[in-house]
Structure 1
Amino acid sequence: MSRKREHEAEKENSERWLLTYSDLITLLMIFFVVLYSMSKVDAAKFQAVAESLNKALSGGVPAKMEVSTSPSGPSLIQTGTPSSTTTVPGKDKDPSKTTDTDQAAANVGQGNTDAENMSIEAIKAKLDKFALDNGIQSKLISSMEERGLVVSIQETLLFGSGSADITNRAREILKSISTVLGSASNQIRVEGHTDNLPIQTAKFPSNWELSVIRSTNVVQILQSAGITPSRLSAAGYGEYRPIASNDTIAGQGRNRRIDLIILRSKYDVTEPTNQTAVSGSLAPVLIP
């Protein structure tokens, strides 16, 4: 009897490999199903997501991500032979076959063109001369940065202490500045900054509110002076973007400022447009 039981136990143990084998087959099937489902996406939605991510992360012109097409539908996996637009490493593209679209993309991608540099440099020269002629060169300072021309206007030239009301003299100065800025089509961002001295009033609970209201008031003056509203935007950074140490009175005075940023055209892709606002492309797109 004992020999029979040992034989049956040995037979049961010898068939346990079937369980492992069936589990493996099941996992492989699930794996390939997942791969197949990931290979099929909505081409339009994927392109929108790719462009949105590239705009947000790179700050440049969105790189076009191609989605290959197969008989079963769009796929992330390239199949078949490369398309005619595929660039082969080591081989130059035939200049005679360059399309208008390719040339436009190249021009926008370059962004920092010689013509634009000359235009921005001309604006800087005019503003510097205006500041010198009016004896405010220490309070209206322009500088070139990667993002464009930064025109920094000290608080005492525009507002009273702890106030966002623009003085009459400041209105005339801003109107004169707007005539210079109106010669270009670049986006203009108005940024408000404060020092680190706390403020807590019924109108301004913190430096955040003070910096934002100051920048929006400047925007309104520029708009009333003829700057196209779609070129303007306002931002407030409070005390958190200092350009000098707040440990000294002189440093605090430099930090209390309004910056007018004449952005280079390559940053236009990061600015919302009427088209994106209407189409709602700024909303997150979910891929089913």
Structure 2
Amino acid sequence: MRKARKSVGSEGGHERWLVSYADMLTLLFGLFVVLWASKQDGVSEKVVQESVVSVMQGKESEVVSQYNALPLRIKSGMTPYVKKGLLEFSISNKYLEVIVFNDNIFELGSAELSYKSTEPLFMLSTLISDIENNIIIEGHTDNLPITGGRYPSNWELSSARAASVLRFFERKGVSPKRMSIVGHGANKPVESNHTEDGRKKNRRVVVKILRDM
């Protein structure tokens, strides 16, 4: 009995469309993820545009790649200071933040950087000077009222401390166009102000490196 002849090129032909279909689904999924990300706070139009191009080209954008590599760079460079209790850092989906405690960089009631702050802040400046992401520097205080001195309230003191860190970063090569400051006074405590240890935690400067550019 003669076997039926297979037509040339017919082998696997009915499965070829699956490859293109799978590629299309991958691209659509990536596009939907990018469109969803565009609705999130802290994500700029430029990042979204680059991400769309990256999805279409099947690669990660340079901006996203730099930001994703930043936590490891920060951890590698700042670990010695974390171990000494000079600072902490954390990561969220909107920003990477480095928390520097005021007792390590400022004298009580002052906004002038102390000699103890030079080394960790210099190291941090080298890690963030070559990226393009925006940076917000926040000043925080405890709730003890200020009596006399240069600053009439904790509002002015917290803002002045944030500005001192900004000026230090600017001198070390961080672009001032990327930076801004916020003074929160005593309004965003992370610990209770009823204890000295809690007040020490609340007296801090937070450097936020945004995912947005």
Question: Is the TM-score greater than 0.5?
Answer: yes
CA contact (8 A) 2:139 2:161 kept: yes
CA contact (8 A) 2:42 2:210 kept: no
Tell me the residue number matched to 1:172: 119
CA contact (8 A) 2:141 2:185 kept: yes
Tell me the residue number matched to 2:49: 104
User: Would the alpha carbon gap of residues 107 and 163 (structure 1) be closer, same or farther in structure 2, given more than 3 Å must change?
Assistant: farther
Deviates most, 223-232 or 162-171 = 162-171
Residue aligned with 1:149, SS: strand
Residue identity matched to 2:100: I
Tell me how far 1:196 sits from its aligned partner.
Answer: 0.7
Tell me how far 1:128 sits from its aligned partner.
Answer: 2.7
Within the candidate set 227, 236, 245, 2:183 is matched to 236
Tell me the residue number matched to 2:163: 216
Tell me how far 1:264 sits from its aligned partner.
Answer: 0.9
Is 2:80 the partner of 1:133?
A: yes
Tell me the residue number matched to 1:33: none
Tell me the residue number matched to 2:172: 225
Tell me the residue number matched to 1:155: 102
Within the candidate set 175, 191, 196, 1:249 is matched to 196
Tell me the residue number matched to 1:146: 93
User: Would the alpha carbon gap of residues 213 and 62 (structure 1) be closer, same or farther in structure 2, given more than 3 Å must change?
Assistant: closer
Matched residue count: 169
User: Would the alpha carbon gap of residues 159 and 136 (structure 1) be closer, same or farther in structure 2, given more than 3 Å must change?
Assistant: farther
Distance 1:234 1:183 in 2: 20
Q: TM-score, normalised by structure 1?
A: 0.52
1:190-235 Cα distance to aligned partner (Å, 9 max, x none): 0000011111324111100100000001100000000011001111
Give the gaps of 5 or more residues in structure 1: 1-57, 64-100, 269-288
CA contact (8 A) 1:188 1:233 kept: yes
**Cα RMSD after superposing both structures:** 3.0
1:74-104 Cα distance to aligned partner (Å, 9 max, x none): xxxxxxxxxxxxxxxxxxxxxxxxxxx9x82
Residue identity matched to 1:104: Q
Percent identity between matched residues is 32
Larger Rg: 1
Distance 2:65 2:189 in 1: 29
Tell me how far 1:116 sits from its aligned partner.
Answer: 5.4
Residue identity matched to 1:195: D
1:166-198 Cα distance to aligned partner (Å, 9 max, x none): 012312321221110113110011000001111
User: Would the alpha carbon gap of residues 239 and 122 (structure 1) be closer, same or farther in structure 2, given more than 3 Å must change?
Assistant: same
Tell me the residue number matched to 2:208: 261
Tell me how far 1:137 sits from its aligned partner.
Answer: 4.5
CA contact (8 A) 1:131 1:137 kept: no
Tell me the residue number matched to 1:45: none
Residue identity matched to 2:168: I
Distance 1:237 1:210 in 2: 10
User: Would the alpha carbon gap of residues 135 and 190 (structure 1) be closer, same or farther in structure 2, given more than 3 Å must change?
Assistant: closer
Distance 2:140 2:147 in 1: 16
Distance 1:144 1:107 in 2: 24
Distance 1:257 1:186 in 2: 22
